[in-house]
Structure 1
Amino acid sequence: MSRRLSPSCRRPYGLALVCRLWKTSRTTLYRHRAKAGQEPAPPGRRGPAGAGSDADLLARIRAVLEASSFTGEGYRKIWARLRFSGTRTAARRVLRIMRENGLTAPHRPVRRDAHPHDGTIVTARVDEVWGTDMTQTVTTGEGRAY
């Protein structure tokens, strides 16, 4: 309707005028106009496309790992080296790809203190209560002191 010419002055009506007369917004008109000619697109991932496919990025990660003299590198260091070499991608994506392919750095085991006590206290007499408020410190000469 907005492309039709008015019979009196031979000018197009204009989209704003048509929408005002039809009592609808221009965004609604544009939405219906876009839907008329095509099927709805399947929902995809928003945002820019990354630095190539996951397979390409995996090959670049493997190249960075092979060039390193260390046995294990963390994802943050790999991500920084990729950025330095010109491959810009997200750190979470690097972490995900490294996890999926078993390339993450080996974790150090957590050092646990020795537990010489199993947690049970047996008293010599009935109705005898023991209590303690023990703190621990480490000395250079003797080791742990309580």
Structure 2
Amino acid sequence: MSAATGRPYPVEMVCRWFGVARSTYYAWLKGGRRGGRKRGPKTPVNDEELVVQIREVIRSSPFHGEGYRKIRARLGLRVSGKRVLRLMRENGLLAPVRRVHAHGPRAHDGKIQSERPNRLWGTDATRFYTEEDGWCWFFGAIDHHVEDIVGWHVAKVGDRFAAAEPVRMGVRREFGTSGRDVARGLLLRHDHGPQYTSRNFRQEMAFYGIQLSPAFVGEPEGNGIIERFMRTLKEQCLYVHRFRDLEHAREVIGRFIELYNSAWILQRHGYRTPAQVRSDFLRKEVA
């Protein structure tokens, strides 16, 4: 500022006096005054605070071993996945990585999905152990779009009648009754187990109007949606509980399935739960 005139000195004169190019001055004027801070929205929490919140999400989540993407979704904060991954790695919060065993090239990647509910279901079975009743069976049926369990059943004997029970439950739940042709247009994906290839099972499915869709022989991933659920059921429930008997298992598994349908989050559906996916679809159908 000139003491004589009270006006600022010309930029050209000031730059020449200090030996600074005018382009340098204008660059400083445009961005340098911010002290070199990065552009974009400010981070809502620092790393230390974010680690505390990550630990709380892990502690309060009804599921264990969730990856950093799901933890980030449960945080509900505007933070990058890379940052969450870094902090979880640095603080020993990452779940152990599941080993993938190579079995040669697959004929199918298992991602058979439907664009709307109740067009394609998958069904499968697995065994679990109880202290008093020995080995028992779990049968489940899942919707390939919503990825919720529409029906399930536990039994001591894993025969064709037990295999049909989760489908019966799903038909009653989704179609309101179990009458003839009530589920016409629905496809049912299954493997080649004797329960599903039996005459009784095929006849009952035909009664409901359900068309059977067997997975490829030797390619269980062709029924990948239910296979993925079975893996989750084992890791989150069957492997972490000691079941006294079949009735105790039925109670625990029933609670888990309610929790899965209402709280498990699905990456392909924008980290929504199965219940939210079905509810959002029905809302759009009514609108």
Q: TM-score, normalised by structure 1?
A: 0.50
- Which has the larger Rg? 1
Which one has more relative contact order, counting CA pairs under 8 Å at least 6 apart? 2
Q: Which has the higher strand share?
A: 2
TM-score, normalized by length of structure 2? 0.28
* Structure with more of its chain in helix, by fraction: 2
